[in-house]
Structure 1
Amino acid sequence: MATAALNRYTPEEYLALERNAEFRSEYIDGRIVAMTGGSIPHNYIGGNIYAGLLARFSSRPCHVFFADVKVRFGRGTDYTYPDVMALCGAPGYGDEHSDILTNPALIVEVLSRSTEPYDRGDKFKGYKAIDSLREYLLVSQDEVKVEHFIREGDFWPSRVVTDLDATVELRSVGCTLPMREIYRRTRFVPEDMVEESA
Protein backbone atom coordinates (compact mmCIF):
# COMPACT_ATOMS: atom_id res chain seq x y z
CA MET A 1 0.00 0.00 0.00
CA ALA A 2 1.53 3.28 -1.10
CA THR A 3 1.20 6.70 0.49
CA ALA A 4 2.87 10.06 -0.14
CA ALA A 5 5.16 10.64 -3.14
CA LEU A 6 8.53 12.33 -2.72
CA ASN A 7 10.86 14.13 -5.21
CA ARG A 8 11.57 12.85 -8.73
CA TYR A 9 14.30 10.23 -9.26
CA THR A 10 15.60 8.16 -12.15
CA PRO A 11 14.81 4.42 -12.11
CA GLU A 12 18.48 3.73 -11.37
CA GLU A 13 18.44 6.12 -8.40
CA TYR A 14 15.27 4.51 -7.09
CA LEU A 15 16.69 0.99 -7.29
CA ALA A 16 19.94 2.00 -5.59
CA LEU A 17 18.03 3.71 -2.76
CA GLU A 18 15.41 0.96 -2.43
CA ARG A 19 17.95 -1.84 -2.11
CA ASN A 20 19.51 -0.09 0.88
CA ALA A 21 16.29 1.23 2.44
CA GLU A 22 14.86 0.11 5.75
CA PHE A 23 11.29 0.46 4.47
CA ARG A 24 9.78 -0.44 1.09
CA SER A 25 8.75 2.14 -1.50
CA GLU A 26 7.28 1.90 -4.98
CA TYR A 27 8.39 3.90 -8.01
CA ILE A 28 5.72 5.44 -10.23
CA ASP A 29 6.33 7.95 -13.01
CA GLY A 30 9.60 9.20 -11.54
CA ARG A 31 8.37 9.45 -7.96
CA ILE A 32 9.25 7.30 -4.97
CA VAL A 33 6.10 6.45 -3.04
CA ALA A 34 6.45 5.21 0.54
CA MET A 35 4.41 2.15 1.47
CA THR A 36 2.30 1.75 4.57
CA GLY A 37 1.75 -1.41 6.58
CA GLY A 38 -1.16 -3.72 5.88
CA SER A 39 -3.98 -4.81 8.15
CA ILE A 40 -4.29 -8.24 9.73
CA PRO A 41 -7.01 -9.35 7.24
CA HIS A 42 -4.82 -8.09 4.40
CA ASN A 43 -1.92 -10.15 5.74
CA TYR A 44 -4.00 -13.29 6.21
CA ILE A 45 -5.53 -13.10 2.74
CA GLY A 46 -2.23 -12.46 0.95
CA GLY A 47 -0.55 -15.19 2.99
CA ASN A 48 -3.37 -17.65 2.31
CA ILE A 49 -3.11 -17.10 -1.44
CA TYR A 50 0.68 -17.42 -1.37
CA ALA A 51 0.55 -20.60 0.73
CA GLY A 52 -2.20 -22.10 -1.43
CA LEU A 53 -0.24 -21.54 -4.63
CA LEU A 54 3.02 -22.71 -3.08
CA ALA A 55 1.41 -26.00 -2.04
CA ARG A 56 -0.03 -26.53 -5.51
CA PHE A 57 3.32 -25.78 -7.15
CA SER A 58 5.32 -28.26 -5.04
CA SER A 59 5.75 -30.77 -7.88
CA ARG A 60 5.46 -28.36 -10.81
CA PRO A 61 7.87 -25.89 -12.48
CA CYS A 62 5.89 -22.91 -11.18
CA HIS A 63 6.89 -20.05 -8.88
CA VAL A 64 5.03 -17.78 -6.47
CA PHE A 65 6.30 -14.54 -4.94
CA PHE A 66 4.89 -12.74 -1.90
CA ALA A 67 5.11 -9.01 -1.13
CA ASP A 68 8.91 -8.47 -1.21
CA VAL A 69 9.56 -8.91 -4.94
CA LYS A 70 9.02 -5.95 -7.27
CA VAL A 71 7.43 -6.09 -10.71
CA ARG A 72 8.57 -3.81 -13.53
CA PHE A 73 5.85 -2.50 -15.81
CA GLY A 74 4.54 0.52 -17.70
CA ARG A 75 7.29 1.76 -20.00
CA GLY A 76 9.66 -0.55 -18.18
CA THR A 77 10.44 2.13 -15.63
CA ASP A 78 7.71 1.72 -12.99
CA TYR A 79 8.10 -0.64 -10.04
CA THR A 80 5.57 -1.86 -7.48
CA TYR A 81 5.30 -4.63 -4.91
CA PRO A 82 2.21 -6.72 -5.74
CA ASP A 83 0.80 -8.74 -2.86
CA VAL A 84 1.29 -12.02 -4.77
CA MET A 85 2.70 -12.89 -8.21
CA ALA A 86 2.99 -16.28 -9.89
CA LEU A 87 4.07 -17.92 -13.13
CA CYS A 88 4.89 -21.34 -14.56
CA GLY A 89 8.24 -21.66 -16.29
CA ALA A 90 11.45 -19.72 -15.74
CA PRO A 91 11.19 -16.42 -13.85
CA GLY A 92 12.52 -13.39 -15.70
CA TYR A 93 14.48 -11.01 -13.49
CA GLY A 94 15.16 -7.33 -14.14
CA ASP A 95 18.86 -7.57 -13.28
CA GLU A 96 21.44 -9.57 -11.36
CA HIS A 97 19.83 -8.80 -7.99
CA SER A 98 16.85 -11.14 -8.67
CA ASP A 99 14.45 -8.82 -6.82
CA ILE A 100 12.52 -7.58 -9.88
CA LEU A 101 10.17 -9.94 -11.73
CA THR A 102 9.49 -9.09 -15.37
CA ASN A 103 7.20 -11.94 -16.50
CA PRO A 104 4.39 -12.69 -14.02
CA ALA A 105 1.39 -14.58 -15.43
CA LEU A 106 -0.76 -13.81 -12.37
CA ILE A 107 -0.82 -10.73 -10.13
CA VAL A 108 -2.92 -10.48 -6.97
CA GLU A 109 -3.68 -7.27 -5.09
CA VAL A 110 -5.53 -7.34 -1.77
CA LEU A 111 -7.61 -4.18 -1.70
CA SER A 112 -7.53 -1.53 0.99
CA ARG A 113 -9.60 1.64 1.08
CA SER A 114 -6.55 3.84 0.51
CA THR A 115 -5.17 1.93 -2.50
CA GLU A 116 -8.30 0.51 -4.16
CA PRO A 117 -8.70 3.33 -6.74
CA TYR A 118 -5.04 2.96 -7.76
CA ASP A 119 -5.21 -0.87 -7.86
CA ARG A 120 -8.27 -0.64 -10.13
CA GLY A 121 -7.05 2.29 -12.21
CA ASP A 122 -3.52 3.37 -13.05
CA LYS A 123 -1.82 0.32 -11.55
CA PHE A 124 -4.03 -2.08 -13.50
CA LYS A 125 -3.46 -0.01 -16.64
CA GLY A 126 0.29 -0.37 -16.12
CA TYR A 127 0.03 -4.09 -15.41
CA LYS A 128 -1.84 -4.61 -18.69
CA ALA A 129 1.36 -3.60 -20.52
CA ILE A 130 3.17 -6.68 -19.12
CA ASP A 131 3.10 -9.08 -22.07
CA SER A 132 3.24 -12.19 -19.88
CA LEU A 133 0.34 -11.19 -17.61
CA ARG A 134 -2.77 -13.29 -18.13
CA GLU A 135 -4.78 -12.86 -14.91
CA TYR A 136 -5.32 -10.17 -12.29
CA LEU A 137 -7.12 -10.70 -9.01
CA LEU A 138 -8.53 -7.92 -6.84
CA VAL A 139 -9.37 -9.44 -3.46
CA SER A 140 -11.50 -7.59 -0.93
CA GLN A 141 -10.46 -7.68 2.72
CA ASP A 142 -13.81 -6.28 3.90
CA GLU A 143 -16.11 -8.92 2.43
CA VAL A 144 -15.98 -12.23 0.58
CA LYS A 145 -15.32 -10.91 -2.91
CA VAL A 146 -12.72 -11.72 -5.56
CA GLU A 147 -12.70 -9.92 -8.90
CA HIS A 148 -10.96 -12.11 -11.46
CA PHE A 149 -9.77 -10.41 -14.65
CA ILE A 150 -8.59 -12.64 -17.53
CA ARG A 151 -6.76 -11.35 -20.61
CA GLU A 152 -8.54 -12.10 -23.88
CA GLY A 153 -6.53 -10.30 -26.55
CA ASP A 154 -6.80 -6.58 -25.78
CA PHE A 155 -9.76 -7.09 -23.44
CA TRP A 156 -9.91 -8.00 -19.75
CA PRO A 157 -13.38 -9.40 -18.95
CA SER A 158 -13.98 -10.09 -15.27
CA ARG A 159 -15.82 -12.54 -13.10
CA VAL A 160 -16.84 -11.63 -9.56
CA VAL A 161 -16.85 -14.45 -7.00
CA THR A 162 -18.71 -13.87 -3.72
CA ASP A 163 -19.71 -17.42 -2.75
CA LEU A 164 -17.55 -18.84 0.03
CA ASP A 165 -18.17 -22.33 -1.39
CA ALA A 166 -16.91 -21.40 -4.87
CA THR A 167 -13.42 -21.70 -6.33
CA VAL A 168 -11.28 -19.36 -8.42
CA GLU A 169 -9.85 -21.08 -11.48
CA LEU A 170 -6.40 -19.72 -12.32
CA ARG A 171 -5.76 -20.88 -15.87
CA SER A 172 -2.45 -19.04 -16.20
CA VAL A 173 -0.87 -21.24 -13.53
CA GLY A 174 -3.09 -24.32 -13.94
CA CYS A 175 -4.79 -24.57 -10.57
CA THR A 176 -7.81 -23.51 -8.54
CA LEU A 177 -8.09 -21.84 -5.14
CA PRO A 178 -11.16 -22.36 -2.97
CA MET A 179 -12.66 -19.15 -1.60
CA ARG A 180 -12.64 -20.72 1.87
CA GLU A 181 -8.89 -21.10 1.58
CA ILE A 182 -8.41 -17.51 0.41
CA TYR A 183 -10.45 -16.18 3.34
CA ARG A 184 -9.24 -18.59 6.03
CA ARG A 185 -9.03 -16.86 9.44
CA THR A 186 -10.22 -13.48 8.21
CA ARG A 187 -12.18 -11.65 10.89
CA PHE A 188 -15.46 -11.07 9.02
CA VAL A 189 -15.86 -14.80 8.20
CA PRO A 190 -17.29 -16.80 11.14
CA GLU A 191 -14.64 -19.29 12.32
CA ASP A 192 -17.04 -22.24 12.13
CA MET A 193 -17.53 -21.56 8.38
CA VAL A 194 -13.86 -21.65 7.49
CA GLU A 195 -11.86 -24.86 7.47
CA GLU A 196 -8.51 -24.71 9.26
CA SER A 197 -5.44 -25.86 7.39
CA ALA A 198 -4.25 -29.40 8.06
Structure 2
Amino acid sequence: MSGVPKPLLSEAEYLAQERQADFKSEFYRGEVFAMAGASRRHNLIVGNAVTALNLGLRDSDCQVYPSDMRVKVSATGLVTYPDVSVACGDPEFDDDQNDTLLSPVVLIEVLSKSTESYDRGAKFEQYRHLNSLRHYLLISQDRVHVEHFSLQDDGNWLLRECNEIGGTVELKPLNCKLLVVDLYRKVDLSGAETRSAEP
Protein backbone atom coordinates (compact mmCIF):
# COMPACT_ATOMS: atom_id res chain seq x y z
CA MET A 1 0.00 0.00 0.00
CA SER A 2 1.31 3.42 -0.95
CA GLY A 3 0.23 4.92 2.37
CA VAL A 4 2.45 2.61 4.42
CA PRO A 5 5.68 4.40 5.40
CA LYS A 6 8.96 2.75 4.55
CA PRO A 7 10.71 1.15 7.53
CA LEU A 8 13.65 3.15 8.82
CA LEU A 9 17.11 1.65 8.58
CA SER A 10 19.90 1.81 11.10
CA GLU A 11 23.19 3.20 9.87
CA ALA A 12 24.72 -0.28 10.11
CA GLU A 13 21.93 -1.69 7.94
CA TYR A 14 22.41 1.11 5.42
CA LEU A 15 26.17 0.52 5.20
CA ALA A 16 25.74 -3.23 4.79
CA GLN A 17 23.26 -2.60 1.99
CA GLU A 18 25.31 0.19 0.42
CA ARG A 19 28.49 -1.85 0.23
CA GLN A 20 26.67 -4.40 -1.93
CA ALA A 21 24.61 -1.96 -4.02
CA ASP A 22 25.07 -1.24 -7.72
CA PHE A 23 24.22 2.45 -7.22
CA LYS A 24 24.92 5.08 -4.59
CA SER A 25 22.43 6.28 -1.98
CA GLU A 26 22.51 8.95 0.68
CA PHE A 27 21.48 8.18 4.27
CA TYR A 28 19.86 10.52 6.77
CA ARG A 29 17.79 9.82 9.88
CA GLY A 30 16.99 6.28 8.88
CA GLU A 31 15.98 7.09 5.33
CA VAL A 32 17.84 6.16 2.16
CA PHE A 33 17.79 8.43 -0.89
CA ALA A 34 19.02 7.17 -4.27
CA MET A 35 21.47 9.54 -5.93
CA ALA A 36 20.92 10.50 -9.55
CA GLY A 37 23.41 9.84 -12.31
CA ALA A 38 25.60 12.61 -13.68
CA SER A 39 25.96 14.33 -17.04
CA ARG A 40 29.05 14.26 -19.24
CA ARG A 41 29.99 17.82 -18.24
CA HIS A 42 29.55 16.94 -14.57
CA ASN A 43 31.88 13.95 -14.86
CA LEU A 44 34.49 15.91 -16.81
CA ILE A 45 34.56 18.67 -14.19
CA VAL A 46 34.86 16.15 -11.35
CA GLY A 47 37.75 14.45 -13.15
CA ASN A 48 39.42 17.79 -13.80
CA ALA A 49 39.08 18.81 -10.15
CA VAL A 50 40.60 15.53 -8.95
CA THR A 51 43.51 15.93 -11.39
CA ALA A 52 44.12 19.57 -10.45
CA LEU A 53 44.02 18.80 -6.73
CA ASN A 54 46.35 15.82 -7.06
CA LEU A 55 48.85 18.00 -8.91
CA GLY A 56 48.50 20.91 -6.52
CA LEU A 57 48.81 18.73 -3.42
CA ARG A 58 51.38 16.26 -4.73
CA ASP A 59 54.07 17.38 -2.26
CA SER A 60 51.68 17.52 0.72
CA ASP A 61 50.27 14.91 3.09
CA CYS A 62 46.79 15.31 1.59
CA GLN A 63 44.82 12.69 -0.32
CA VAL A 64 42.17 13.39 -2.97
CA TYR A 65 39.12 11.14 -3.28
CA PRO A 66 36.56 11.09 -6.11
CA SER A 67 32.83 10.58 -5.63
CA ASP A 68 32.96 6.93 -4.55
CA MET A 69 34.25 7.99 -1.12
CA ARG A 70 31.44 8.37 1.39
CA VAL A 71 31.56 11.19 3.92
CA LYS A 72 29.75 11.00 7.25
CA VAL A 73 28.75 14.05 9.26
CA SER A 74 28.81 12.49 12.72
CA ALA A 75 27.04 15.42 14.39
CA THR A 76 23.93 15.08 12.22
CA GLY A 77 24.05 11.49 10.94
CA LEU A 78 24.21 12.41 7.25
CA VAL A 79 26.13 9.94 5.09
CA THR A 80 26.64 11.08 1.52
CA TYR A 81 28.96 11.11 -1.48
CA PRO A 82 30.54 14.50 -2.28
CA ASP A 83 31.83 14.82 -5.82
CA VAL A 84 35.37 15.37 -4.54
CA SER A 85 36.85 15.12 -1.04
CA VAL A 86 40.28 16.00 0.30
CA ALA A 87 41.69 14.74 3.59
CA CYS A 88 45.07 15.59 5.07
CA GLY A 89 47.44 14.03 7.55
CA ASP A 90 46.06 10.83 9.04
CA PRO A 91 42.44 10.73 7.83
CA GLU A 92 39.70 9.57 10.19
CA PHE A 93 37.33 6.89 8.95
CA ASP A 94 34.14 5.50 10.43
CA ASP A 95 35.42 1.92 10.64
CA ASP A 96 38.21 -0.35 9.45
CA GLN A 97 36.70 -0.54 5.95
CA ASN A 98 38.17 2.94 5.33
CA ASP A 99 35.36 3.81 2.92
CA THR A 100 33.47 6.39 5.02
CA LEU A 101 35.52 9.52 5.67
CA LEU A 102 34.96 11.60 8.81
CA SER A 103 37.59 14.31 8.39
CA PRO A 104 37.50 16.05 4.99
CA VAL A 105 39.33 19.36 4.72
CA VAL A 106 37.95 20.23 1.27
CA LEU A 107 34.62 19.23 -0.26
CA ILE A 108 33.54 19.95 -3.83
CA GLU A 109 30.11 19.63 -5.40
CA VAL A 110 29.42 20.12 -9.10
CA LEU A 111 26.02 21.75 -9.39
CA SER A 112 23.13 20.29 -11.37
CA LYS A 113 19.57 21.50 -11.72
CA SER A 114 18.26 18.68 -9.53
CA THR A 115 20.71 19.19 -6.65
CA GLU A 116 21.76 22.86 -6.76
CA SER A 117 19.41 24.14 -4.06
CA TYR A 118 20.29 21.22 -1.78
CA ASP A 119 24.04 21.63 -2.29
CA ARG A 120 23.81 25.35 -1.53
CA GLY A 121 21.44 25.05 1.41
CA ALA A 122 20.70 22.04 3.58
CA LYS A 123 23.72 20.03 2.51
CA PHE A 124 26.18 22.85 3.18
CA GLU A 125 24.48 23.42 6.53
CA GLN A 126 25.20 19.78 7.37
CA TYR A 127 28.76 19.95 6.07
CA ARG A 128 29.49 22.90 8.35
CA HIS A 129 29.20 20.51 11.31
CA LEU A 130 32.42 18.83 10.14
CA ASN A 131 35.13 20.19 12.43
CA SER A 132 37.82 19.40 9.85
CA LEU A 133 36.22 21.24 6.93
CA ARG A 134 37.97 24.41 5.74
CA HIS A 135 36.88 24.78 2.10
CA TYR A 136 33.64 24.11 0.22
CA LEU A 137 33.51 24.62 -3.54
CA LEU A 138 30.45 24.72 -5.76
CA ILE A 139 31.27 24.45 -9.47
CA SER A 140 28.64 25.22 -12.10
CA GLN A 141 28.49 22.93 -15.11
CA ASP A 142 26.51 25.23 -17.43
CA ARG A 143 28.80 28.28 -17.23
CA VAL A 144 32.15 29.34 -15.81
CA HIS A 145 31.27 29.97 -12.19
CA VAL A 146 33.04 28.73 -9.06
CA GLU A 147 31.85 29.59 -5.56
CA HIS A 148 34.49 29.12 -2.88
CA PHE A 149 33.45 29.12 0.77
CA SER A 150 36.39 29.22 3.20
CA LEU A 151 36.25 29.04 6.98
CA GLN A 152 37.70 32.11 8.67
CA ASP A 153 39.43 32.37 12.03
CA ASP A 154 36.30 33.88 13.58
CA GLY A 155 34.21 30.85 12.60
CA ASN A 156 32.39 32.55 9.75
CA TRP A 157 32.43 31.33 6.16
CA LEU A 158 33.69 33.74 3.49
CA LEU A 159 32.36 33.43 -0.07
CA ARG A 160 34.54 34.25 -3.06
CA GLU A 161 33.10 33.87 -6.55
CA CYS A 162 35.01 33.47 -9.79
CA ASN A 163 33.38 33.91 -13.20
CA GLU A 164 36.57 34.24 -15.24
CA ILE A 165 38.23 31.35 -17.06
CA GLY A 166 41.58 32.92 -16.16
CA GLY A 167 40.79 33.01 -12.45
CA THR A 168 42.26 31.04 -9.58
CA VAL A 169 40.91 29.44 -6.42
CA GLU A 170 43.38 29.45 -3.54
CA LEU A 171 43.07 26.84 -0.81
CA LYS A 172 44.79 28.22 2.27
CA PRO A 173 46.71 27.00 4.22
CA LEU A 174 47.11 23.98 1.93
CA ASN A 175 49.35 26.00 -0.40
CA CYS A 176 47.27 24.89 -3.36
CA LYS A 177 45.96 27.06 -6.18
CA LEU A 178 43.40 25.73 -8.64
CA LEU A 179 43.24 27.33 -12.07
CA VAL A 180 39.66 27.74 -13.24
CA VAL A 181 40.74 26.91 -16.78
CA ASP A 182 41.89 23.50 -15.50
CA LEU A 183 38.53 22.84 -13.84
CA TYR A 184 36.74 23.42 -17.16
CA ARG A 185 39.31 21.78 -19.43
CA LYS A 186 37.61 19.96 -22.37
CA VAL A 187 34.16 20.93 -21.02
CA ASP A 188 31.92 22.18 -23.84
CA LEU A 189 29.73 24.94 -22.40
CA SER A 190 28.20 26.02 -25.71
CA GLY A 191 24.43 26.04 -25.34
CA ALA A 192 24.67 24.48 -21.89
CA GLU A 193 22.28 26.88 -20.17
CA THR A 194 19.46 25.94 -22.55
CA ARG A 195 19.73 22.20 -21.90
CA SER A 196 17.27 22.12 -19.06
CA ALA A 197 16.71 18.37 -19.29
CA GLU A 198 20.31 17.44 -18.57
CA PRO A 199 20.92 16.36 -14.94
- TM-score normalized by the length of structure 2: 0.88
What is the CA deviation profile of residues 10-37 of structure 1, one whole-angstrom value per residue up to 9, with x for unaligned ones? 1111111101111111112221010111
What is the rounded CA distance, in whole Å, between the counterparts of 2:91 and 2:12 in structure 1? 22
Q: Do 1:73 and 1:127's aligned partners in 2 also have CA atoms closer than 8 Å?
A: yes
What corresponds to 2:36 in structure 1? 36
Q: Assess if the C-alpha contact under 8 Å between 2:139 and 2:147 holds in 1.
A: yes
Match of residue 176 from structure 2: 175
Q: Distance in 2 between matches of 1:15 and 1:158?
A: 34
Compute the displacement of 1:65 (Å).
0.5
- The residue type paired with residue 51 of structure 2 is A
Contact 2:45–2:141 at 8 Å: present in 1 too?
A: yes
Q: Could you tell me how far 1:174 is from its partner in structure 2? A: 2.0
* 1:125 pairs with 2:138: no
Partner of 1:3: none
The reply on whether 1:62 has 2:52 as its aligned counterpart is no
Q: Offset at 1:59? A: 2.7
Q: Which residue of 2 aligns with 1:188?
A: 189
Letter in 1 for 2:102: T
Q: Tell me, yes or no, if the aligned pair for 1:134 and 1:151 is still in contact at 8 Å.
A: yes
Post-superposition CA distance 1:74-112 (Å, at most 9, x none): 525210000001132111111010001111110000000
* Structure 2: gaps spanning 5 or more residues: 1-5, 191-199
Aligned to 1:102: 102
1:83 counterpart letter in structure 2:
D
TM-score (norm 1): 0.89
Alignment match, 2:162:
161
Match of 1:194 in 2: none
Number of equivalenced pairs = 185
Is the CA contact (8 Å cut-off) linking 2:56 and 2:178 kept in structure 1? no
Deviation at 1:125, TM superposition (A): 0.5
Query: Would the aligned equivalents of 1:64 and 1:84 in 2 still touch at CA under 8 Å?
Result: yes
- Name the counterpart of 2:140: 140
**Percent identity of paired positions between Structure 1 and Structure 2:** 41
Aligned-pair Cα RMSD in Å: 1.6
In structure 1, the partner of 2:25 is 25
Q: What is the distance in 2 between the residues matched to 1:89 and 1:164?
A: 31
> Does the CA contact (< 8 Å) of 1:26 and 1:80 recur in 2?
yes
